[in-house]
Chains A and B, each alone.
Chain A
């Protein structure tokens, strides 16, 4: 195997799991996250020589993944389409149990705007600085601060709700 391919494989094995988890937090669906990461890693392979030479393939891959995860929700076939008949949602025998199973935090994250969600994930899951986050999202540090602040308000509210029902200490 050429050096180029060996380096690439090592990178994929080291980083793909982390990238998929980041993508999941941004887009909210594991399978979409998997698609996004595989596409991003495929693109990374095509430009591996250049990216590897620049010295930080993870930063490149993260940027591609986050933006693709944000973008995937905007694609036409992902949008909601109006239908004449409502889908059969099924019946839960125990509404209280269903409510208990529901993850308030995940729901709160899903309710955030895409860019707010990305800001929170990059800042508090990936532990990136404001500047690094701004660079990935191609926006100003001020935008990152404001988006993050709004997102945190929503998430704190969700955490307070979880505390009130005893799911958080």
Chain B
């Protein structure tokens, strides 16, 4: 047995010794190996570059969330478009020509409210999604961009505040948080200096320049007119009615939050903001001794 094994080993060596080929070239192998290593490095670095490019391309193709590239909306409130979760393309019915009639914009707002309620995009959710027959209180229009308005139900118990964009405006500008339908409440007694906080910087794909104020809100009933000002001398008269205002206006410059404004009463007198507005509001919400620590 042992002899057989040795014999088999010897036979295998005899077979293997008849190598007819030239020795393997170490230099050729080395060159091939170097090329392979280089290729690996290129592929791996190319993979990283491709991944970064893909991410960048995706980010480019995504709709702008309401601000130009590199432009931060400093100090913007939590209700800006940039923080809106709704980035998908809005159904066409939510879009409306800024100059469309009341019925058309109310219908578009109803669709938007329904979408908000369905997707639970805001809190509290809209109390209604049907604005049929409602009355327009105030409305502001930014040509080619959109319109903001406040409407009230026929019995005046409900209020809808809506910001709608034109059909050509890219998705991402449909800001759920600027559209509500809620129960009517008494107007504030005093004016706050913190108005006009909502909006976004005009993105390159929007037909406007500067900061786009897109807001609705409440003021004391004695305020009948508000002049919103921007750096550079530009200003706009914001429509006010029954203690509600709506504004959709691109100021052509930097964002100013809160906006610089002057409010007037029916006699043309300036209504000054109450510096203790916030303090009083907190006290109203939490009477003395109940303010949570």
A interface residues (Cβ-Cβ under 8 A, vs B)? 5, 8-9, 12-13, 16-17, 20-22, 24-25, 30-31, 34, 37-38, 41-42, 45-46, 48, 103, 105-106, 109, 120-121, 124-125, 127, 152, 155-156, 159, 168
Contact = CB atoms under 8 A, between A and B. Distances in A.
Interface residues of B, number: 27
Interface of B: 4-5, 7-9, 11-17, 19-21, 23-24, 26-27, 29-30, 32-34, 36-37, 40
Contacts of A8: 26, 30, 33
Contact of B26 (A16, A46, A120): A16
Given A30-B21, A45-B29, A45-B37, A155 B8 contact: yes
Contacts, number: 93
B192 to A, nearest CB: 68
Residue among B13, B23, B27, B29 with max Cβ neighbours from chain A (10 Å): B29
Contacts of B20: 30
7 contacts: A9-B30, A16-B23, A20-B19, A25-B15, A38-B32, A46-B36, A125-B13
Contacts of A105: 11, 14-15
A16 B16 contact: no
A124 B29 CA distance: 29
A4 B5 CA distance: 40
Given A12-B26, A38-B29, A121-B12, A156 B4 contact: yes
Contacts of B14: 105
A109 B26 contact: no
A74 to B, nearest CB: 23
Contacts of A120: 8, 12
A17 B23 contact: yes
A9 B8 contact: no
Contacts of B33: 8, 41-42, 45-46, 48
B227 to A, nearest CB: 73
A124 B34 CA distance: 36
Main secondary structure of the interface of B (DSSP, over half): helix
B24 A34 contact: yes
Given A25-B15, A125-B13, A152 B24 contact: no
Nearest to B15: A106
Contact of A9 (B11, B17, B27): B27
B7 A42 contact: no
A41 B5 CA distance: 31
A41 B24 contact: yes
Contact of B19 (A21, A45, A103, A159): A21
Contacts of B17: 21
A20 B30 contact: no
A35 B40 CA distance: 21
Given A120-B12, A156-B8, 9 more contacts: A9-B26, A13-B26, A16-B24, A17-B23, A17-B24, A20-B24, A124-B5, A152-B4, A159-B7
Contacts of B8: 120, 124, 152, 155-156, 159
Contacts of B12: 25, 109, 120-121, 124-125
Contacts of A121: 12
Nearest to A46: B36
A159 B11 CA distance: 9
Given A38-B24, A124-B8, A103 B29 contact: no
Contacts of B36: 42, 45-46
Given A20-B24, A121-B12, A125-B9, A42 B32 contact: yes
A36 to B, nearest CB: 11
A126 to B, nearest CB: 9
A30 B24 CA distance: 12
